[in-house]
Amino acid sequence: MKRIAVLTSGGDAPGMNAAIRAVVRTGLAKGWCMFGVRHGYAGLIAGEIFTLGARDVGGIIQQGGTMLGSARCPEFETVEGRMKALSQLCRHEIEALVVIGGNGSQAGAHALSLLGFPVVGVASTIDNDLYGSDVTIGVDTALNVSLEAIDRLKVTASSHHRAFLVEVMGRTCGYLALMAAIAGGADAVMIPEKETDPEVVATELRVAYDNGKAHAIVVVAEGARYNAEGMALYFQTHRERLGFELRMTRLGHVQRGGAPGSFDRLLGTLLGAAATERLADGKHGELVGLLKGEIAATPLAEVVTNRKTLDLGLLKLARTLAQ
């Protein structure tokens, strides 16, 4: 009987629980003994490994976050930390590991794989910046949370003829900001991948106002050079010249905490099931993700050495649609 463990690492994402549930139940269906690891790689180093049955993962598919917990673990970035983790896996007689998470998590999965331990990754991050999956677990729900906030702010903005600045998550990737701007009908968007001069934004908002718009919405990624605080300060400093100011709203971790929508529940389920299938077929050292509408596997070596790029043509589209 195979003994397989699953852990979640890095930032939590809606749909992680669906993936955990799928890994455990499809593994049990194959006659395997399934285990969970609490608190990501930190829990792995500490030996927080416990058995999981079918009922243990019942009623979690609709819950946000991760029932296994997650934590940052600088120690795992060291050779000593990884050897401690490997020792715990061997002590508990674990034969393979499924790692659900984003870039940092899959870098850790690759590191274990290089030590000869069988690992399969599952693509999960609301930033959608992980190479090897067109869409990752949690993105759709986080985007819908952002859209709901933008829609609500538009009501107030129209009522008071004001301009609002909405900051969404994305330290190095502007995917959420750009998609929220397009789907939310924003007047301007600022992302880390392409610097935008605040004066350009001011001009765009002034044109929108002159064209009869009763409100203005600017969506900015937290990692943009001019983030929410920077933009608000700029407009406040130059308020007399620009003629208006931006009211700031930071969504922050609110985007992570939503109950997963149908897409993320299905994606988490499909990717979790695919991970156990890869292990059943003797495949490992891979990431399972969604590529061109199909579940596919990408070597972890490629995942950690490649950067997923954002289609900047969509930035041009966003500006065209805002006119």
C-alpha 63/C-alpha 261 separation (Å) is 10
Strand 33-37 to 49-51 pairing: antiparallel
pLDDT at 163: 82
Residues 133 and 171 in one domain: no
Is there a binding annotation on residue 186?
yes
**Boundaries of domain holding 100:** 3-138+260-305
Structure tokens that stand for 40 in this block: 């990501």
Residues 152 and 212 in one domain: yes
**Sequence-ordered list of residues with C-beta below 8 angstroms from that of 293, at least 6 positions apart, any chain:** none
Q: Which of 169, 129, 104 is closest to 308 using CA atoms?
A: 129
What CATH number does the domain containing 153 carry? 3.40.50.460
Residues 7 and 108 in one domain: yes
Residues 264 and 208 in one domain: no
Domain count, the chain: 2
- DSSP element (H, E) containing 184: helix 175-184
**Sequence-ordered list of residues with C-beta below 8 angstroms from that of 174, at least 6 positions apart, any chain:** 189, 190, 191, 192, 193, 194, 221, 223, 224, 310
Instruction: Write out the chain's pLDDT in tens, 323 residues.
Output: 699 999 999 999 999 999 999 999 999 999 999 999 999 999 999 999 999 999 999 999 999 999 999 988 999 999 999 999 999 999 999 999 999 999 999 999 999 999 999 999 999 999 999 999 999 999 999 999 999 999 998 888 777 667 889 999 998 999 999 999 999 999 899 999 998 888 888 888 877 777 777 778 999 999 998 888 888 888 888 887 766 778 888 988 888 877 999 999 999 999 999 999 999 999 999 999 999 999 999 999 999 999 999 999 999 999 888 87
Place of tokens 């900047």: 312
Residue 317 maps to a domain: no
Is there a binding annotation on residue 169?
yes
What CATH number does the domain containing 132 carry? 3.40.50.450
- DSSP element (H, E) containing 33: strand 33-37
Place of tokens 């993936």: 19
Residues 184 and 230 in one domain: yes
Is there a binding annotation on residue 230?
no
Is there a binding annotation on residue 110?
no
C-alpha 320/C-alpha 323 separation (Å) is 6
Residues 151 and 282 in one domain: no
- The vertex-313 CA angle with 130 and 323, nearest 5°, equals 125
Q: In what order do the strands lie in the sheet with 163-168?
A: 188-190, 216-221, 163-168, 246-250
Is there a binding annotation on residue 127?
yes
pLDDT at 195: 87
Place of tokens 């765009």: 204
- 260 forms beta bridges with none
Contact 310, 319 (CB under 8 A): no
Residues 126 and 7 in one domain: yes
Is there a binding annotation on residue 210?
no
Decide if 264 is catalytic. Answer: no
Give the active site residue among 12, 127, 140, 264: 127
Residues 128 and 14 in one domain: yes
Residues 92 and 178 in one domain: no
Query: In 161-210, which ranges are continuous DSSP H helix?
Result: 175-184, 198-210
- DSSP element (H, E) containing 159: helix 139-160
In one-letter notation, the amino acid at residue 195 is: E
Residues 82 and 124 in one domain: yes
**Sequence-ordered list of residues with C-beta below 8 angstroms from that of 143, at least 6 positions apart, any chain:** 176, 179, 180, 183
